[in-house]
Amino acid sequence: MGILSLITGKAGASGFGSASTAEQVTGGVDASRLTAIVTGGASGIGLETTRVFALRGAHVIIAARNTEAASEARKSIMEGNPTARIDVLRLDLSSLKSVRAFADQFNSMNLPLNILINNAGVMFCPFGLSEDGIEMQFATNHLGHFLLTNLLLGNMKATAKSTGIEGRIVNLSSVAHLHTYPRGIQFDKLNDEKIYNDKMSYGQSKLANILHAKELSRRLKEEGANITINCVHPGLIMTNLMRHSFVLMKALQFVTYMLWKNVPQGAATTCYVGLNPQLKGVTGKYFADCNEEKTSKLARNDMLVKQLWELSEQLIKSSK
């Protein structure tokens, strides 16, 4: 989809485009047999994703660091949709201990799991290390979701097998994956404050989301599991994610206002890839404006894929 299509909202091959909303791309979908987890589902496009999934009948678990805010979000959704099935569980993706605790709690509830939306994240934040000693954007945006997905995969495979319903995983990436460090991932300097750049580190974490999906897609296909995993770029939306660069983003929005989306439009690609029947069997792809798009060369680098998977596993093991 080019700039003109983004500005005009012209539909692409899928029948949808940048102007499509989350409700429009899921019109007619019956999700009443589905259970979904949405990380960061208490605000921004995560909240809209939760609302629309619940509107289509899905049982949604909001996984959020701030459970008070998540409970308020649940309450607001249920005011408009009293039959909505929504639960709240605590999850801090920057803490691998918290990720493990969340997975244990969810799995102990004996619920099926059809859809995992890896949505939560941080953006352009000052340099900092997580409690596990890992650069914060990489820890939150990639590693936390990498571990969470691994811990929930057994449930998803069992659910897909017993129900015959395809499981879907959606990683929220970004066009920012194009703007990363020259080598893509700073494997040997991940926590080096001297070379830290908040924009490139964000791009690095978003590149990692795509590389993760690429490799997991390959593994799932090889195994014959009835689960797909894809990545999406939601577009430019003013949400709390931009709190670390609010002034800069507002200035950018003023100059490029025609390229920005509202929240219902921003959640559309996530909901399209997560629920629309057109995507049955489609895996390992990257979507923007509800249509498949090409990624950067780095995102298609098989060596980076392998190195990132190995590093992620090492970091997880060392945190136990």
- Write down the catalytic residue from 196, 202, 272, 286: 196
Q: Which of 69, 63, 57 is nearest to 26 (CA)?
A: 57
**Using CA atoms, how far apart are residues 70 and 87, in angstroms rounded to an integer?**
9
- Give the DSSP H/E element, type plus range, for residue 118: strand 115-118
Distances (CA, A) of 95 to 48, 134, 243, 247: 25, 10, 21, 29
**Using CA atoms, how far apart are residues 316 and 256, in angstroms rounded to an integer?**
40
- Give the DSSP H/E element, type plus range, for residue 89: strand 85-90
Does residue 272 carry a catalytic annotation? no
Residues near 28 by beta carbon (within 8 Å), at least 6 away in sequence: none
Is 92:84 a contact under the CB 8 Å cutoff?
Answer: no
Residues near 134 by beta carbon (within 8 Å), at least 6 away in sequence: 143, 190, 191, 315
Tokens of residue 158, six digits: 């069992």
Is 200:179 a contact under the CB 8 Å cutoff?
Answer: yes
Is 209:245 a contact under the CB 8 Å cutoff?
Answer: no
- How far does the chain reach from its first CA to its final CA, in angstroms? 43
Which residues are annotated as catalytic? 196
